[in-house]
Structure 1
């Protein structure tokens, strides 16, 4: 569980985050949504420890980040997995090498132990025959699965995903969403996803935080978002005709 209390962050006198408080639950997919410039990326970087909030606290399973020693912060970061927007794979490394990289950097496992772990996570993301391929030799969807495998190879407590469906076709995006949710529930991870993808919101939004101009405008589940009368949320989520129709169908069924 990650507990956020009154997080504020400014850059050059401009307040980007304006007192955000929320909780991200373990074993759930927690989504951060909002328009460009709403503060999503800055908020995610605060959660990752890349930015230090000007005010407020972030607690990871009861441990307040600002109270930790440098060694404790380093250990906490090793419990975090990250899936980057562009996958961020090393082009010169094979799939196997990319996934093994965190183990080589941060553990003292033997070569056979590392190989067993790499084989396990690649199998878990359904990439059993891609070990010796390079990123340029596989599809965008497969690259995302490699990125997820690398993110979970250290068996993290916390998984952060920045636009994991960026650049993917709708069918592949759904597969990635389902994979992230399955892994979250299976390994009881606290997963936080920064996304613009409304399909993700509807499919796996067990907890949704909507930011607007650095403020938490709304929070709830993908079921509750159908019910909200918050104009900022409805304008953002139902900007497409498809979702307007889905919402109207829901309202008609309710009545």
Structure 2
């Protein structure tokens, strides 16, 4: 479990995170949502250990991040997988070389062992014949699947995704959402997803943390989000007529 307690983060006079307390469980897709400027990107970077913070703590399975030594932090980092917003593939490497990169960085496996693992994860994301392609030859959806393969190649305990559906058409976005949820359940990973996509929330939001102005305004699931009367949440969720209709239908069906 990842536990967050009373987390505060500032940049100069700008107080970005204001006492966030929450937790993320193994085998669940945990979504951080909120408007631009709500603090969700800063929060994700704190979870990754990229930003230090002034108050509070983050613990990974009981180990407090700020108390870890350099070697312990490196060991923790080796257990993290990351899917970046723009996929962040290396243009000069083939798809297979991109996926193999974390193995080269964090393991001492032989070349044959690394190749076997690359084959396994590319098969898992339905790209069995993409090894020798360059990223420029891949569609946006294909690049995201490569990014997921790279993120899980080292058997991580923790998977972080920053806007994984950014730039994708709705149909491809659903495919990526479902793939992330399947992998989370299959490998029993703690998955944390930074998103503003309400379709993702309703598709895979097993736990949702809603941030507003640096505060945790609400948390719950995709089922309970329909029931809340928290105005900040309802204003965000039902900003479109589509989700207003979905909410009315849900309420009518459950009366």
Q: Same fold (TM over 0.5)?
A: yes
Instruction: Specify the TM-score bucket, using the shorter chain as the normaliser.
Output: over 0.9
> Cα distance, 1:100 vs. partner?
0.6
Displacement of 1:211 in angstroms is: 0.1
Aligned to 2:198: 198
Measure, in 2, the Cα distance between the counterparts of 1:68 and 1:251: 47
Matches within 5 A, 1:78-89: 78-89=78-89
Q: Aligned-pair distance for 1:14?
A: 1.2
- For residues 209 and 187 of structure 1, the distance between their equivalents in structure 2, rounded to whole angstroms, comes to 23
Task: Note the C-alpha offset of 1:254.
Answer: 2.5
Could you tell me which residue of structure 2 aligns to residue 50 of structure 1?
50
C-alpha separation in 2, matches of 1:62 and 1:218: 24
Gaps spanning 5+ residues in structure 1: where? none
- TM-score by length of structure 1 reads 0.99
TM-score, with structure 2 as normaliser: 0.99
Provide the residue aligned with 1:35 in structure 2: 35
1:20 corresponding residue in structure 2 = 20
Q: Distance in 1 between matches of 2:142 and 2:213?
A: 35
CA distance in 2, matches of 1:94, 1:169: 25
CA distance in 1, matches of 2:229, 2:105: 49
Q: How many angstroms apart in 2 are the aligned matches of 1:79 and 1:96? A: 20
**What is the RMSD computed on CA atoms of the aligned residues?**
0.6
- How far apart, in 2, do the equivalents of 1:139 and 1:10 lie? 38
- SS of the aligned residue for 2:250 comes to helix
Secondary structure in structure 2 of the residue aligned to 1:50: coil
Matches within 5 A, 1:1-255: 1-255=1-255
Task: Report runs of 4+ in structure 1 exceeding 4 Å deviation.
Answer: none
Q: Which runs of 5+ in 2 are unaligned?
A: none
The Cα offsets for residues 83-119 of structure 1, whole Å up to 9 and x where unpaired, read as 0000000111110010011111221100100000000
For residues 119-176 of structure 1, give each alpha carbon's deviation from its aligned partner in whole angstroms, at most 9, with x where no partner exists: 0000000000111000111110000000000000010000000000000000000000
SS in 2 for 1:180: helix
Residues of 2 paired with 1:22 and 1:55: CA distance? 15
Partner Cα distance (1:187, 1:253) in 2: 34
Distance in 2, matches of 1:93 and 1:131, equals: 10
| Distance across 2 between alignment mates of 1:192 and 1:80 | 11
Alignment partners' CA distance in 1, 2:124 and 2:160: 18
